Amino acid sequence: MKLEIVDNITSLEDAMVLLVDESLELPSELPADLSSELMSYMKGLKDKASYKGKIGEINYGTIKVKNDYLNIAILGLGNNDTFSTIKLQNGLADIFRSLKTKCSKSILIMARLITQYMDSSRKRTVLMSESLIMADYEFSEYKSDFEAKQVEHIYLLGDFEKGALEEGVILGESNKIARHLINLPANKLTPLHLAELVKSYGNINGFEVILKNKSEIEALEMNAFLEVAKGSSQPPVLIIMKYTGNPGSDHRLGYVGKGLTYDSGGLSIKPTSGMVTMKDDMGGAAAVIGAMIAISKLNLKVNVTAVIAACENMISGASYKPGDIISSMAKKSIFIGNTDAEGRLTLVDAVHYIVEKEDVSAVIDVATLTGAAIHCLGHDATCAISNNDDYYEVVSKSFAKANEHVWRLPIFDEYKALLKHHEADLTNTAGSPGTITAGLFIGEFVQDKPWVHLDIAGTAFTDKQVGIYTKGGTGVAVRPLYYVAKKFAAK
């Protein structure tokens, strides 16, 4: 699909999208024949008072211009008080999907009005382009009767910035790669296959990828990671991605993603209902991979290292057991209260590795870590924990830039005390509040680094199609992590 910014209408496309607000006024720049048809269409809507131009409100219809019937969609921007970028994104995505179903191959979007509601031309260009790209995602690989429909060309008419179009397109595409990785089932996306895919993304986009196999992980003494992996017949892989966009600087961001390509719960086995979505337990890994792709494709002048401890949490005679006391790369002993609290075990070794061996200046970890995160904030907001106000501020602003929600949970000394165990240094089941104690467990391994923990268990995948999101992986945190890197990038 090709997106193009245009200054005027030179041809009529298969479908037209018109942005209006509650004034329901038409843009003045339309060619006469189109303008008169649209005018009478809009008059019809006004007379029936059936359409008000409220934010996100959509009207579909057809108009006849020069003996041609065109699909049209009208999208409301509301007014200055009600305008919302998230509702605009979702409205655009819904329209895109509907027109795609109607087999429109080329779409003209008359969007000059958006300038009145978003004054940064970069922001409005990125918003429009990334929304359309993300709306154009379907997970169809395993559908043998899938009928591919394709929108070939989108023309954006309005005050947009050519340079920002590329950024929007790449952000949208990177988000979709993350969604795709999440949607691949665990029998296809094994730790090894994930590692091979990352290797190819590195080759294409210009970041270095180092893979460490089981014996190399053993040599590193990443014992907590190995304990989780040991019940599976699929070997674990440590995936390290390095991007050096600012070689003169010794500042380096560290991203860590939870990479459980499957989580059965282990001996503390999940019920089937909890297991069917557990191919998604590498949503954190998908987020950091997507971010690395965007960062490197857009050549940010910044240094970032990302680490994924990829494995499966399975059951066999070799599985780790509730009641075990295990070791970790940081040499802290951990009591296993529940083998389903496996993510934090893989993450602490990955975090210790990135701090000790990769010399990062700060750490962000992203993980589908706790079901409790869904109880905290539901499916529309990511839970965060941080040891550093300034760094959290950067992360929180980055989420806002990406139109994603994040909310910081508190750290109290009483919560930290729950991590202690009478036989070991720490317990992996510190109890309620589950999202906070899981986050604090990881915090025990970040040493003095500024750190933000993101629990995306509620946001990494969805069972509903809403706006830019389709059922399945959402690619949440890809764009926020890109904006964090951009914030630290030299100009």
The DSSP annotation for 29-61 comes to: TS-HHHHHHHHHHHHHHHHHT-----TT-EEEE
- With contacts defined by CB under 6 A, name the span among 104-112, 124-132, 366-374, 413-421 that binds ligand BES: 366-374
Residue 162 is among the residues annotated as catalytic for this protein:
no
Q: Both tokens of residue 325? A: 């006391």
Q: Does 338 bind ligand BES (CB under 6 A)?
A: yes
What's the closest the beta carbon of residue 266 comes to Mn ion, in angstroms? 7
Least distance CB 404 / ligand BES (angstroms) = 17
Binding-site size for ligand BES (CB under 6 A) equals 15
Give the interface with Zn ion as residue ranges (CB under 5 A).
260, 263, 281, 343
Pairing of strands 153-157, 15-20: unpaired
Q: Which of 34, 224, 307, 457 is the binder for ligand BES (CB under 6 A)? A: 457
What's the rounded Cα separation, in Å, for the pair 157 and 177? 28
408 has catalytic annotation? no
| Residue 260 CB, nearest approach to Zn ion (Å) | 5
Q: How far apart are the first and last CA of the chain?
A: 30
Interacting positions 51-70 with Mn ion (CB under 5 A) = none
Residue 281 binds ligand BES, judged by CB under 6 A: yes
Is residue 341 a contact residue for ligand BES (CB under 6 A)? yes
- Check binding of 125 to ligand BES (CB under 6 A): no
> Which range, of 22-30, 132-140, 334-342, 388-396, touches ligand BES by CB under 6 A?
334-342
User: Any contact of residue 340 with Mn ion (CB under 5 A)?
Assistant: yes
Cα(311)–Cα(309) distance, rounded to whole angstroms?
7
**54, 123, 230, 270: which is the annotated catalytic residue?**
270
Per-residue exposure over 139-154, b if at least 16 CB sit within 10 Å of its own CB, e if not: beeeeeeeeeeebebb
d(CA 379, CA 466): 12
**Rounded to the nearest whole angstrom, what is the least distance from the CB of residue 438 to Zn ion in the complex?**
10
Residue 370 binding: pick among Mn ion, Zn ion, ligand BES, none (C-beta 5-8 Å cut-off by kind) = ligand BES
* 27 counts as binding ligand BES under rule CB under 6 A: no
Q: Are 376 and 409 in contact (CB under 8 A)?
A: yes
Residue nearest to ligand BES (CB): 371
Name the burial class of residue 43, with classes exposed (0-12), middle (13-18) and buried (19+) by CB atoms within 10 angstroms of its CB: exposed
Show contacts with ligand BES in window 244-263 (CB under 6 A).
Answer: 263
> What does the per-residue mask of binding to Mn ion show for 342-371, with x meaning CB under 5 A?
x-----------------------------
Which among 353, 23, 31, 319 has a CA at the least distance from the CA of 210?
353
Of 222 and 341, which has the nearer Cβ to Mn ion?
Answer: 341
Residue with the shortest CB distance to Mn ion? 340
Helix (H) or strand (E) holding 109: strand 106-110
Nearer to Mn ion, 122 or 270 (CB): 270
DSSP class of residue 189 equals S
Answer whether 343's CB lies under 8 Å from 457's CB: no
Instruction: Note whether 429 binds ligand BES by CB under 6 A.
Output: yes
Residue 113 three-state SS: helix
Query: Which among 146-154, 172-180, 200-208, 341-349 is the span making contact with ligand BES, rule CB under 6 A?
Result: 341-349
Using CB under 6 A as the binding rule, whether residue 371 contacts ligand BES is answered as yes
* In the complex, minimum distance from the CB of residue 228 to ligand BES, in angstroms, rounded to a whole number: 10
Instruction: Quickly list DSSP for 199-243.
Output: HHHHHHHT-EEEEE-HHHHHHTT-HHHHHHHTT-SSPPEEEEEEE
Quick check: 340 binds ligand BES (CB under 6 A)?
Answer: yes
Is the CB of residue 96 less than 8 Å from the CB of residue 136? yes
Contacts for 68 with CB less than 8 Å, ≥ 6 apart: 12
Please give the residue ranges that form the binding site for ligand BES (CB under 6 A). Answer: 263, 281, 338, 340-343, 368-372, 429, 434, 457
Tell me which residues touch Mn ion (CB under 5 A).
263, 340, 342
Residues involved in catalysis: 270, 344
